[in-house]
Amino acid sequence: MMTNKNEAIGCTVNNCTHHAQGENYCTLNKIQIGTHESNPTKIECTDCESFVNKAQ
């Protein structure tokens, strides 16, 4: 599948509909990062809020 990868946004979440698939990049021009914690202290506290499940 041909995609327009954004080389400024590396991503390995290939379950996301925005993933470039063949390469580990996002295809969006801009992503939104957020947190589900009130006081984020670790990597695991952060989320890509632009994620969309590819299976949906």
In the numeric block, the tokens 């993933």 are attached to: 19
Cβ pair 25, 11 in contact under 8 A: yes
Q: Which is nearer to ligand SF4, 38 or 53 (CB)?
A: 53
Q: Which is nearer to ligand SF4, 34 or 37 (CB)?
A: 34
Q: Which is nearer to ligand SF4, 12 or 41 (CB)?
A: 12
Note the residues at the interface with ligand SF4 (CB under 6 A): 9, 11, 13, 16, 18-19, 26, 28, 31, 48, 50-51
Going from the C-alpha of 35 to that of each of 2, 9, 21, 53, the distances in angstroms are 31, 18, 25, 18
